[in-house]
Amino acid sequence: MTTGYGITENTSKIYTNLAASELIELAIERNEANLASNGAIVVSTGLRTGRSPKDRFIVKDTITENSVDWNAINQPISPEAFSALWQQADDYIKTKDAYFTSQFSVAAAQQFTIPVMVISELAWQVLFAQNLFIRTHKSDTEKQWTILSTPGFKTNPARDGVNSDAAVILNFSERKILICGTFYAGEMKKAMFSVLNFLLPEHDVLPMHCAANVGKDGETALFFGLSGTGKTTLSADPERYLIGDDEHGWGPHGVFNFEGGCYAKCIDLSKEREPVIWEALRHGAIMENVVIDPVTKDPIYSDSSLTENTRAAYPREHIPLREETNQAGQPKAVIFLTCDLYGVLPPVARLTREQAAYYFLSGYTALVGSTEVGQGSGIKQTFSTCFGAPFFPRPPQVYANLLMKRLDNFPAQVYLVNTGWTGGAYGKGGKRFDIPTTRAIVRAIVNGDLRDADYENLPGFNIAIPKAVKDVDAKLLNPRMNWVNLDEHAENTKLLMNMFIENFKKFNVSDEIVNAGPHL
């Protein structure tokens, strides 16, 4: 006999749909968390302080066999192996003195809602889900997904057909997600994001790894980018209403948030540079792997001794300026946030329709702050398709075609914004664009100032760069003007252009899109 969640009945105490205050109290009582001076609870995720992409699998069956882009990211696992592991996790959680369940939803907009039941041995993980997912107790067993998170249950590669002592497995036929051996709660949100990325294209919705906000004039802006490149920071604008900071859908009726909260990086957080996020970290928030002073309990945001990927999960209600409906109309501005370590891309460029497809598929940026297990510290250059390759199960062209369709149907202008280096390469004399400069550029984009600005062409990349942006030093706009050694600039430019060209050979797209990229 089962509980209805795919978990067999047992003698453990089951806490269901507790309020945030109750989950916080239990997490502290059970020594899962400590209380910081700002009112947030602080938890440690142990050895895994980021996602573990090598441990992520998708069950290969009749639903996924011919529709998933099977590769090193989307790894197949058999239905039999999944069932065996689910049973072991079920047996494991029955040995706990208590576990926690709560009902949530994702993508609760535009007639597309997926109920999600979260089950965990940890109270704080259910609070995490309560902060990040959309809070509801409505149930729909025909559509419901179940997330079973058992961090204390370690897998055995030889026995279980996985790669380590942890596993994250998506089963589309049974609508189940199994997360074993990792305390990092970000796996839950990204697993459901992957589910939506698989399902939504069939509903004419482009799922996006992006933040979104809307101005008081009702104009929506999207911010694509990998973690650490500025999505959360730049979308948390004191002058605009936040829709969400990480996961959205773009359909025929506009943009909608998949989530009910935010998951912000905390490393070097300051009240002056990121006031909205700073004020959001209070009672009800969870800080992962943030070091706190043992006496004062003050967070030490500059301390990366546990990880550079320190995080905070908080509900949208902690953001004073937010779009209450969790959705908005068609975007007028689309921003691709890149982080160029070679120092040759401009701080902002206007893209054509074909260039938008090229840079969307390329997903050129940097891995910042050890967001993945094994990534190490520091910053590394990468191409992450659709600005979120680890989360997109279908072939990349599916998402690129939907982007092109949206751009054809609605007058959104796409911009490439570099939050990386200028005047030199990373670690070789270059300097990263500061937040005030990038904020001024974003302000000019969302206000519409850059739509009709004067532009010039950046040779080689053939992208349009503005000649002037309010509150931005004009010499920053053309990257070549910031280099002392122009031979090194030419060498780095050629190197990056070659990287783009080589990376793009894997895509089967039209000549118009291929030719929209750099040319030596």
* Catalytic positions: 51, 190, 209, 227, 231-232, 246, 311
Closest CA relative to residue 486, chosen from 366, 343, 273? 343
- In sequence order, the β-bridge partners of residue 103 are 117
Classified as helix, coil or strand, 479 is: helix
Contact 78, 336 (CB under 8 A): no
Phi, psi (degrees; rounded to nearest 5) at 253: -105, 5
486-504 and 353-362 helices cross at what angle (nearest 10)? 80
d(CA 312, CA 193) in angstroms, rounded, equals: 18
d(CA 220, CA 229) in angstroms, rounded, equals: 20
* 210's tokens: 């992006």
Phi, psi (degrees; rounded to nearest 5) at 490: -65, -40
* 102's tokens: 């709560």
| Contacting residues for 161 by C-beta, under 8 A, at least 6 apart | 77, 78, 81
280 alpha carbon, distance to own chain's centre: 18
d(CA 138, CA 115) in angstroms, rounded, equals: 7
Which stretches of 246-395 are DSSP H helices?
Answer: 275-280, 353-362
Handedness of CA 16, 22, 24, 29 (dihedral sign): negative
Contact 363, 383 (CB under 8 A): yes
* 193's tokens: 């994001």
| DSSP E strand stretches across 52-144 | 56-59, 75-77, 98-109, 112-120, 134-135
Phi, psi (degrees; rounded to nearest 5) at 319: -100, 115
d(CA 154, CA 88) in angstroms, rounded, equals: 10
